[in-house]
């Protein structure tokens, strides 16, 4: 019951947040000083041409009317037409979404594996040189942002030791039999491991660059809570039963220590998704973020609006999932 009520409340606040973002985005964008219509037309277009095209896009109406038209459209799934490509914004954005989702999830998995391994090793050999080395590596990983890690990776594994592809999502000459845009997922389902390997080779470095700072955060926090848990009575009890140190950490301490890390991972995951904007650009990966930068450069307002709204939707959904997971996993909240 408590979980259902929490779900209802969170769904409501999510809706409020999203409407707030929609309103802000719409009005902030309309403050733009430059006239996007003038930019669409060839030089030498008359004022009359500009007025005609403005009327076509509804830009000659008062702001509030424009907002009304826009909201009515959004509710029906019409996010307008991109000014540069003249295609529906919804199609463009949804076409790129799977690429970004796959990249973010792969990065999240890598961060959890790397950070988890660092925390477990650090706890197993706590107080020694190994823990010191892990702390130093964590500190480095944290103080340098994903953009720079991406560049370092390009140099290391793209140029010095060319193991992975440094640009694109898939080798362009390959024939793709896919019906969806979830390449990584669909290649597995279709058992096309050749394609899968090619896609992973393209995604590996951007995903790793995104994962490094998050891995450091996970490593630090999980190690801290693990070390605290290791001093609790029930862990001592497990030890007196004669279990080895590694087993005690994995079987007894980890489950209790993981909860605070989980909440943090949720918040940090939204930062990671934000990081895809620049990382996708760096690796010429055809996702939402790369498209966002093009849209900003071209001042394609309807497209920017669509992308920002979609990102906001992803962020709020991630937060919602984390809150619910936390409620499900935390016994104190579950029985409240």
Partner 1 sequence: MLDGRSMIRRRAGLRLWLSAGWLALLCLAALLAPWVAPKDPLAQDLFLGRLPPFWVAGAEPGYWLGTDSLGRDVLSRIIHGARVALMVALIAGTITCLIGATLGLLAGFLRGWVDMAISRLIDIWMAFPPVLFSILLIAVLGPGLISIIIAIVVIDWTRFARVVRAEAMAQGAMDYVASARVAGRGRIGTMIREILPNVLPTIVVLLTLEMGIAVIVEAILSFVNLSISTDDPTWGGMIAEGRTSIHQAWWVLVFPLITLFLTVLSFSQLGEGLKDRFDPVLR
Interaction site with partner 1 (CB under 8 A): 17, 21, 24-25, 28-29, 31-34, 139-140, 143-145, 147-148, 151-152, 154-155, 158-159, 166, 270, 274-275, 277-278, 281-282, 292-293, 295-297, 299, 301, 304, 307-308, 311-312, 315
Residue 285 vs 315, nearer CB to partner 1: 315
Shortest distance, CB of residue 160 to partner 1, whole angstroms?
9
Q: Which of these, 217, 261, 254, 260, lies nearest to 232 by C-alpha position? A: 254
Give residue for tokens 């497209």.
303
**Alpha-carbon span 313 to 101, nearest angstrom:** 13
115 membership: H or E segment, kind and range = helix 89-124
Shortest distance, CB of residue 48 to partner 1, whole angstroms?
26
Shortest distance, CB of residue 13 to partner 1, whole angstroms?
10
How buried is 295 (Cβ within 10 angstroms: 0-12 exposed, 13-18 middle, 19+ buried)? buried
**Alpha-carbon span 210 to 109, nearest angstrom:** 11
Residue 168 vs 177, nearer CB to partner 1: 168
**Alpha-carbon span 248 to 243, nearest angstrom:** 6
Tokens representing residue 205 in the block: 């470095």
Count the alpha carbons within 13 Å of 127 in the hemisphere toward its beta carbon.
Answer: 1
Shortest distance, CB of residue 289 to partner 1, whole angstroms?
8
Residue 120 vs 291, nearer CB to partner 1: 291
Residue 134 vs 166, nearer CB to partner 1: 166
Q: What angle do CA 212, 109, 191 make, to 5 degrees?
A: 130
Shortest distance, CB of residue 185 to partner 1, whole angstroms?
25
Shortest distance, CB of residue 150 to partner 1, whole angstroms?
10
Residue 81 vs 187, nearer CB to partner 1: 81
The answer to whether the CB of 183 falls within 8 A of the CB of 224 is: no
Residue 93 vs 304, nearer CB to partner 1: 304
Q: CA 110 → CA 61, 123, 133, 208, 227, distances in Å?
A: 49, 20, 20, 7, 23
């Amino acid at each position: 019951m408590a979980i259902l009520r929490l779900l209802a409340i969170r769904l409501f606040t999510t809706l409020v947040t999203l409407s707030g973002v929609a309103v802000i985005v719409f009005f902030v964008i309309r403050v733009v000083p430059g006239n996007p219509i003038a930019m669409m037309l060839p030089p030498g277009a008359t004022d009359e041409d500009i007025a005609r095209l403005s009327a076509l896009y509804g830009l000659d109406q008062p702001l509030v009317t424009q907002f009304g038209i826009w909201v009515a459209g959004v509710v029906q799934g019409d996010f307008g037409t991109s000014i540069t490509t003249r295609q529906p914004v919804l199609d463009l954005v949804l076409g790129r979404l799977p690429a970004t989702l796959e990249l973010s999830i792969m990065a999240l998995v890598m961060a959890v594996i790397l950070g988890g391994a660092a925390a477990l090793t650090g706890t197993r050999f706590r107080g020694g040189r190994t823990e010191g080395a892990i702390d130093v590596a964590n500190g480095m990983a944290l103080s340098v942002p994903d953009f720079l890690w991406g560049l370092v990776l390009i140099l290391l594994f793209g140029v010095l030791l060319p193991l992975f592809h440094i640009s694109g999502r898939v080798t362009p000459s390959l024939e793709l039999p896919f019906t969806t845009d979830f390449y990584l997922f669909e290649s597995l389902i279709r058992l096309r491991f050749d394609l899968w390997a090619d896609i992973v080779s393209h995604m590996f470095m951007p995903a790793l660059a995104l994962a490094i700072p998050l891995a450091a955060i996970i490593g630090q926090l999980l190690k801290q809570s693990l070390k605290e848990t290791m001093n609790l009575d029930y862990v001592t009890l497990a030890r007196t039963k004669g279990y080895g140190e590694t087993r005690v950490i994995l079987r007894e301490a980890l489950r209790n220590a993981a909860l605070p890390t989980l909440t943090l991972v949720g918040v940090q995951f939204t930062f990671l998704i934000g990081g895809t904007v620049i990382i996708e650009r760096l690796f010429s990966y055809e996702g939402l973020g790369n498209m966002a930068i093009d849209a900003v450069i071209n001042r394609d307002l309807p497209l920017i609006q669509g992308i920002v709204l979609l990102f906001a939707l992803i962020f709020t959904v991630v937060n919602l999932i984390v809150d619910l997971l936390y409620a499900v996993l935390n016994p104190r909240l579950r029985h409240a």
